[in-house]
Amino acid sequence: MDLNYSAEELAFRDDVAGFVKQHLPMEIANKVLEHKRLGKDDMVRWQQILYARGWMAPAWPLEYGGCAWSPVQRHIFDEVCADAGAPSIVPFGVSMVGPVIMAFGNPEQKQRYLPRILSSEDFWCQGYSEPGSGSDLASLKTRAVREGDHYVVNGQKTWTTFAQWADMIFCLVRTASDGKKQDGISFLLIDMQSPGITVRPIITFDGEHEVNEVFFDNVRVPVENLIGEESRGWTYAKFLLSHERTGIAAVGRSKRELRLLKQIAAQELKDGKPLIEDPRFRDKVARLEIDLMALEITVLRTLAAEKAGHPPGPEASILKIKGTDMQQGLTDLMLEAVAYSGLPHLPMAWSGHWLGEHVAPEYALPLAARYFNFRKVSIYGGTNEIQRNIVSQMILGL
């Protein structure tokens, strides 16, 4: 296994870097690099720039409008974009439901939905978790009862990211109750403008409206919106989650944040000296950097296996665990570095009046909100505890 980039891959990296430098709007990059909030317009604007270049779906095959890039090319693309401050491509359409439609959808569904995902004409969200059905997703209770040419859906989904902006939601629903609880689950595509859908915001601890509750009250969904076979949704959900967990590692973003952490530690003072010169803090940074290097090597090994034709398996769970541990560790040390300058995302903090004579540096202001927000990364995509169970069962045989 060769972990060095080939000449062709280095040339590809230069091509991507040149495009991003020329076309990434500076105002969007500044928001990302300064940890400020992105709106839907920011995300869609960048996605449409990529779409115009033909780069919206790096992993999709050419026949569906994708790039058909190798796993290594996709890694390079993600790393270059993250380094420049490009927003991540919203995953729900391109990386999650899109591959499910390609693998299990019928020709009409592919023709209808895939082009609209590429163009960002349809903005998607994910309807998996429910109150009481998060880690134990198979216990979900949202029901879909068939009545003629429609399913009638009743139930509730929660922690639904970007539901307030979404045009479509892909949902796991229960269509039967016989047999194991994994049986009887189906995969439905639902128009968010359907009568009977209510979206209620959940304001998180950082003050952000990112997630929501979604209620379904006798929502009629055409039977043609069923993906694959009825009661096979659990199979499709596992297929989707294996792709989601690999991407959660986010090595490129973590490398960018590590660089920022070092810059912050060089500016913040402790006993009159830069914090980075404090042996204890420097050791914490060094441990994170070593772990990030090991994570990147593990990602490259996984990509090399995928390039050789082996789809992601339980190693996706390892990447999810270590990647999210890394992201939380970086937010921990950033907040430790700026101390009380990292105030919650509140108007009085941004005005500079909260601290009296002390005016917090601008880079410090969003860091408490970011710290709070990143508590979630070890939960979504399957909690890290569940991922450890997967590793123990599928790799260690326990």
Neighbours of 147 (CB within 10 A): 10
Give pLDDT tens digits for 207-266: 889 999 999 999 999 999 999 999 999 999 888 876 555 567 889 999 999 999 999 999
Main-chain dihedrals φ then ψ at residue 254, nearest 5 degrees: -65, -35
Q: Does domain 124-231 have CATH number 2.40.160.20?
A: no
The two tokens of residue 204 are 């998180």
Please tell me the distance from the alpha carbon of residue 122 to that of residue 124, in angstroms, as a whole number. 6
Q: What is the mean pLDDT of the chain?
A: 90
Cα 168 off chain centre by: 17
The structural architecture, per CATH, of the domain 248-394 is Up-down Bundle (1.20)
Least confident of 95-104, 122-131, 336-345: 336-345
The two tokens of residue 279 are 């042996």
Beta bridge partners of 216: 155, 197
The two tokens of residue 193 are 């403008």
Give pLDDT tens digits for 272-331: 999 999 999 999 999 999 999 999 988 888 777 776 777 667 777 888 899 999 999 999
pLDDT at 56: 98
Percentage with pLDDT > 90 across the chain: 66
Give pLDDT tens digits for 9-37: 999 999 999 999 999 999 999 999 999 99
pLDDT at 22: 98
Give pLDDT tens digits for 52-89: 999 999 989 999 999 999 888 998 999 999 999 999 99
Give pLDDT tens digits for 337-378: 998 777 665 555 555 444 555 566 778 878 888 898 999 888
Please tell me the distance from the alpha carbon of residue 57 to that of residue 52, in angstroms, as a whole number. 11
Main-chain dihedrals φ then ψ at residue 24, nearest 5 degrees: -70, 120
Mean of pLDDT values over 188-215: 95
Question: Active-site residue among 79, 244, 268, 296?
Answer: 244
Q: Is the pLDDT of residue 379 over 90?
A: no
Which of 396, 389, 128 lies closest to 238 in space, CA to CA? 128
pLDDT at 65: 96
- DSSP assignments along 110-145, one per residue: HHHHHHHHHTTSS-EEEE--BTTBSSSGGG---EEE
The two tokens of residue 54 are 């033909």
The domains of the chain are located at: 7-89, 124-231, 248-394
Please tell me the distance from the alpha carbon of residue 152 to that of residue 145, in angstroms, as a whole number. 5
| ∠ Cα 262 265 267 (to 5°) | 115
244 flagged as catalytic: yes
For 7-89, CATH number out of 1.10.260.40, 3.40.50.300, 1.50.10.20, 1.10.540.10 equals 1.10.540.10
Nearby residues of 8 by Cβ (< 8 Å), 6 or more positions away: none
- DSSP assignments along 252-275, one per residue: HHHHHHHHHHHHHHHHSEETTEEG
pLDDT at 2: 56
The two tokens of residue 192 are 């968010």
pLDDT at 304: 74
Nearby residues of 271 by Cβ (< 8 Å), 6 or more positions away: none
